[in-house]
Structure 1
Amino acid sequence: MTIENLFKSTETLSNPYIEEWKKQNKKILGYYCTYVPEEIIHAGGLMGYRMRGTEAEGTSRADTILSKFNCSFVRATLDLAMEGKYNFLDGLICMNSCDHARRMFDIWKHKIIGQIDGIDNNFPLYFLSVPHILTDRGFSWLKEEFEFFKSDLEKYFKIKITNEDLNNSIKVLNEGRRILKEIQQLRALEKPKLNGEDFVKINIAYSSIPKEIVNQELKSYLAQLKNKDGISDYRARILLTGSIIDDPEFIKIIEDVGGLVVSDLLCFGLRNFWDLTEETGNPLDAITKKYYYKLSCPRMMDDHDRRYKFLQEQIKVSKIDGVIGTRIEFCDLNGCECMMYEHELEKINVPMLSLDRDYFLGDKGRFKTRCEAFIEQIE
């Protein structure tokens, strides 16, 4: 497999690797949020698949259930499910990541399962309740949630997940995370080895291809990148943060006008791989610690200071000239977070552009104009 084939696999929901996986009668579990413990899924011989809005052309089906005041990303994934595009899944994991995504549990339960071809009444649906603040009690709560989740997988799929299985899966997932962190280091160079558009494609592939396969391909790609000439024809180094971005076209708009996205605080970015799981001690304790204390998103209400500290570190390490924050309409979590960043970054003289957007790129011209003006302001 070449990197071109890897990138091509991100253009559709299904891909040749999924098709091959299914031919072997192996199962795939969809999930919405980076707080879902992939190690437990992998340890059961299952494949985790991050839900995306790729291929969605609108939300007309979903709009019969959800209002226009709901997140357009969530509506896009629901529309695809109602169209039958997600019938390659063998189960779905929802959680209380935000109010919009949390509703997917109820809607799949009452409107998708047993009513869409390929998703019958026995389709397993899981809900993980993840605390919104960091406390010792919250850690115990999350560990118990993960124990219940592991037990439910064992019962439904008639499997046994041992500590040995969990330890092996921790090593497999950590391998991929280490490779992605090395690739990120190549973005931070004065002449970065890859652009932001390709980096988000890598992260999408990492979340939609069996881990052993994607790890090997990314390892090969990393070796190629190290011998590649860096990028020098850019006008400004950009850090991107805010609502979910699973469409590389959005980043291409920024880079087409001279920005180069060299770092991020995104769920299909650094949040997806930054923290490793400890490879010693009780594996379930280690998995819980990793997900509970990981590089958080705004759903963790008492963790903004730690996120801002990480943002400052990335600004320094990646030599950031400006920050772009994006908020999908009605995304209160990232709306508040980006507003706070604006005030904080102003105090340290780092320019920030805030963009409100729909999930669909219907107004590329406006984005292009605002990004170009922002880069001119930086220069």
Structure 2
Amino acid sequence: MEEKLRELLEIAENPQRAITGWKEVTGGKVIGCLPIYVPEEIIHAAGALPVGLWGGTTEIERANAHLQGFSCSIVRGVLEYALKGTYDMVDGFVFPSTCDHVQNSSDIWAKTFPDKVKFDLVYPANRSSNAATLYLADLYREFISWLEELVGSSINNGDLQRSISVYNHHRELMEKLRQLRAEQPQSLTHREMAGLVKASLFMPKEQYNQELEGLLPWLEVRDIKEVPHKRLLLTGIMAEPEELLDVIEDLGCAVVADDLALGSRLHGVQVTTQTEPIDALVQRHLSLGPCSTLFDPGKKRGSHIKELVEKTKANGVVFINMKFCEAEEFDYPILKQELEQAGIPLLFIEVEQQMASFGQIRTRLQAFTEMLA
């Protein structure tokens, strides 16, 4: 089992080899998906492999010539990897309307890589509008047509239903993994947990589900460290660079829950099997949240985090702000006020994927955790 875990963590660390290997064996198409909420079930139903493109710690050498200095490090990382040829095995790219950074990089992408086909997944801004359901169904049908042309075969309702079943099972397994982390934090390091989440971005879900099903019973009895007494919840877009997780580990704290875009937000809502597949996928998107990247006039994120804190017995919350992420920055003042009123300790830290120094973050995290009950 240790070897199985190491293999998954290796895929998370070096996905290029795994993706290229899948393509060589199957002859299928690879679809790169920028963050977040791309309906991967549709890509899976087309027989293609959806892979998540979330940037990385690569040195930015070329992307700054195409992007403003205030662009977030995720889109800078994605563009840098593309310019370096890392994504040469990817056949098509999907740009959801997550934020201004992702949307603007789509236009830059079209001019920089005119030979790389892409699809702009422009979601309805107001998800509570009556027109949102009809619009989103039409958008998904356009997405299906784009994929059918790219892969050279049609997608029918049976294909979609099978893919929905696979992905629903995947979300069930990821929920079990999160429960295990909360109940038995001594069974996994923080990097291992993050690696298991990331590996799922680069593998066929059937294969990943099978691997995780085998690992979960073993993880339930695994014991690799002392039970930490300080329990943290992480919120933000992502907990990267992963040196941040090392700092938390070194301070003797457990991450028992998260509200991360590259984390629990990916797996929060199942797709119903009681309606037509397209309608079911539409309803899933319209019911997603709370999330800073989605229309949420009621601002339910604070309530959601308070419930997670209570459920997992977390002692405090760390807000990991990806520098220049306006969506998260707009949420923070409201979240701060709500958590303070509830008596929940909160720490704000700012990161970039390409940062190299963690001394100040370590000092602030240490001071914060020392104050926790």
TM-score range, shorter chain: over 0.9
SS of residue matched to 1:188: helix
Cα deviation, residue 335, structure 1 = 1.2
Map 1:78-89 to 2 at 5 A. 78-89=79-90
Structure 2 CA distance for partners of 1:107 and 1:191, relative to 1, 3 Å: closer
Q: Is the 8 A contact 2:184 2:220 kept in 1?
A: no
Q: How many residues align?
A: 370
Question: Which deviates more, 275-284 or 162-171?
Answer: 275-284
Q: Structure 1: any 5+ residue segments left out of the alignment?
A: 114-120
Q: Is the 8 A contact 1:240 1:325 kept in 2?
A: yes
Cα deviation, residue 246, structure 1 = 4.9
- Paired residue for 1:74? 75
Cα deviation, residue 312, structure 1 = 1.5
Cα deviation, residue 39, structure 1 = 0.6
- Paired residue for 1:263? 257
- Paired residue for 1:187? 181
Q: Is the 8 A contact 2:239 2:260 kept in 1?
A: yes
Cα deviation, residue 139, structure 1 = 2.3
- Paired residue for 1:310? 304
Deviations 1:259-317 (A, max 9, x none): 21111111221011121111222111111111221234212232553322221111111
Structure 2 CA distance for partners of 1:164 and 1:299, relative to 1, 3 Å: same
Structure 2 CA distance for partners of 1:303 and 1:187, relative to 1, 3 Å: farther
Q: 1:273 aligns with which of 267, 270, 280?
A: 267
Map 1:14-29 to 2 at 5 A. 14-16=16-18, 18-29=20-31
Q: 2:133 aligns with which of 135, 139, 142?
A: 139
Map 1:8-87 to 2 at 5 A. 8-16=10-18, 18-54=20-56, 56-57=58-59, 59-87=60-88
SS of residue matched to 1:305: coil
* % same residue: 29
Match status 1:3 vs 2:9: no
Deviations 1:76-131 (A, max 9, x none): 11111111111110100002101001122112211123xxxxxxx2x321001112
Structure 2 CA distance for partners of 1:181 and 1:61, relative to 1, 3 Å: same
Cα deviation, residue 227, structure 1 = 2.2
Matching residue's letter, 1:177: R
Matching residue's letter, 1:141: Y
Distance in structure 1 (CA, Å) of the matches to 2:316 and 2:255 = 10
Distance in structure 2 (CA, Å) of the matches to 1:99 and 1:313 = 30
Structure 2 CA distance for partners of 1:43 and 1:37, relative to 1, 3 Å: same
Normalised TM-score (structure 1): 0.93
Match status 1:221 vs 2:223: no
SS of residue matched to 2:86: coil
SS of residue matched to 2:133: helix
Distance in structure 2 (CA, Å) of the matches to 1:209 and 1:54 = 18
Moved over 6 A (4+): none
Match status 1:156 vs 2:150: yes
Q: Structure 2: any 5+ residue segments left out of the alignment?
A: none
Q: Is the 8 A contact 1:94 1:128 kept in 2?
A: yes
Distance in structure 1 (CA, Å) of the matches to 2:166 and 2:372 = 41
Distance in structure 2 (CA, Å) of the matches to 1:5 and 1:210 = 15
Cα deviation, residue 195, structure 1 = 3.8
Structure 2 CA distance for partners of 1:276 and 1:367, relative to 1, 3 Å: same
Cα deviation, residue 250, structure 1 = 2.2
Q: 1:251 aligns with which of 245, 251, 266?
A: 245
Distance in structure 1 (CA, Å) of the matches to 2:166 and 2:226 = 34
Normalised TM-score (structure 2): 0.94
- Paired residue for 1:340? 334
Distance in structure 2 (CA, Å) of the matches to 1:45 and 1:88 = 16
SS of residue matched to 1:327: strand
Cα deviation, residue 183, structure 1 = 1.0
- Paired residue for 2:97? 96
Structure 2 CA distance for partners of 1:187 and 1:77, relative to 1, 3 Å: same
- Paired residue for 2:317? 323
- Paired residue for 2:205? 211
Q: Is the 8 A contact 1:143 1:288 kept in 2?
A: yes
Matching residue's letter, 2:123: V
SS of residue matched to 1:48: strand
Q: Is the 8 A contact 1:241 1:324 kept in 2?
A: yes
Distance in structure 2 (CA, Å) of the matches to 1:155 and 1:276 = 28
SS of residue matched to 1:30: strand
